[in-house]
Structure 1
Amino acid sequence: MIAVLMGGYSAEREISLLSGHAVYEALLKSNVDCFSFDLTHENLESLWEKEFDKAFIVLHGRGGEDGYIQSQLIKKGIPFTGSNAIASNLCMNKATTKDLWSNHSLPLSPSIVAIKGQNLDSINFPLPWAVKPTLEGSSIGITKVKNQNELDEALKAAWHYNDEALIEQWVEGDEYTVAILNNKTLPSIKIISDHDIYDYHSKYFSNKTEYLCPSGLTIAQEKNIQMIALKAFNLTGASGWGRVDFILDKNMKPYLLEINTVPGMTSHSLVPIAAKASNISFEELVIKILNG
């Protein structure tokens, strides 16, 4: 029996429910015994009252992607999909992930961390800047800062989610993503958004956002970002499946943005699009993740 864990209590709850129901339906179509479980702050104990052999984690953001639910499942001796608790916790924090990557010569834009209530170090890289919470996904709380006097408001927006914000040099270019499935890369996707920022609305609800797969990169460029993605993924200790996001600048130089250990699984989601380009149906994808 498989427990499909969805919902949760992060800012990405709505998308987690969409992803979770899609995974649940796919498992049913594949004749897998399963049940769906909408996790909240209050009902974890009732999960343990159910009998199941493995958890399919489709919880995005904090509580599901930060190692919490993984650590609880480990205590109960119940296996689960995706990365372990330590890797999940590391990958959830954009700042610590960037620190790790910077020690291995991976391509990154300059950045500093701004902690609420502490004096901010001088920013020694040019405007514009991207200001974002360190612990949120789906581009929640991100602001593009074009002038120094916009920084305070941008930091307030980021600190609304947690007390740590990442200030990065803004890289002008196109966003690409590389999905990883059981230690292999899937074809890259180029994302074309009608927003200046590929934000929450663009990701999940806009019909104007375009996803190009194949992405239009040359064979050499494709191999390069796939190699970087797999190295970045493995360095964190992540496993099973995930997604690594990039910006490619006007000279097609890649810059790592972040890693997602529980990516979206909705109709707009990128891992299913990349899988489809590899002739893997949604149902097959779900089974591969389950068995990974």
Structure 2
Amino acid sequence: MDSKDQKLTTYIYTFAFPEDERSLCALEMRSLFGVESQSNILESYVKIDPTRSPFIKERLSVMYKGETLQDLLIKIEAVQLDGATFKVIYVKNGGLTEKEGYEKRRTIEREIGLHINGDADFQHPDRLFGVMNINGGWVLGEYVKSEPVWFQHQKKPHSYSTALNTRVARAVVNIAVPKPGGIKAIDPCCGIGTVLVEALSMGIDIVGSDRNHLILPGARENIAHFGLTGEVNLADIRDITNHYDVAIIDLPYNLCSVITPEEQLEMLQSARRFSQKVVVVTVEPIDDILKNAGFAIIDRAVAKKGLFTREVIVCK
């Protein structure tokens, strides 16, 4: 069969995010999927492990569609389980059209289960199926729930009050490296290693460095604490000679790391030299400095925490 004639799998993702991080979620969505949804649901041909994103709740790999629930029930009788056990989960669409109450949802799950030729197992099923009412119709597909890995990473041995929180750090990594295959990344101001932990936990090829020798043992311990391995070097950003596909730079801004606009320019000019793409996290306006360093701004988002606002800027 010609590849053009092969049917592509549709994936349905549901999202959840704090209002203060709506902009960041949208930028991560554009980076991972190439489009942005105006709701908390996205349909795409792009397959992403939902655990990668701090905002994706679940993924449905569509197998069957029906204009009505009855249409769907007829189609799913073709499901072949080959002896595997299963469980059916009703996936709420979260929009204004979601009118099904708890009992109604459980009834639909049972009805779907009765039409699947196999044994249900509610505790430890071999396969999970999701059923969803979307765009006026019904779909059934393989269901995968996201695991909040970033949340577990909050319990690292060393942390700074001004460091990125793990959810934001994970989103920034996805924005910087949406397709990890063959990509070499660097965090040249890695600090306590928050970005490194998120990237390494996703299998991304990344190295870290920092010019502050006092902080590096803590970064290395944080990485090892989660059973990860990664290279963390003592180096000033201006002395980096290797070339990387992308750099993630959380510009220093606390009272111990005050840097002038001239120093910011020098840092970014260095990054321009050794990296093809840069994702900058900043608490100050730096558009002019980025342009002076030779970067074009491709996309951006804001992430707020109370009165504190960070900007995430994608540059090439």
- Length-normalised TM-score, structure 1: 0.29
Asked which structure has the greater RCO (Cα within 8 Å, sep 6+), the reply is: 1
Larger radius of gyration: 2
- Length-normalised TM-score, structure 2: 0.28
More strand by share: 2
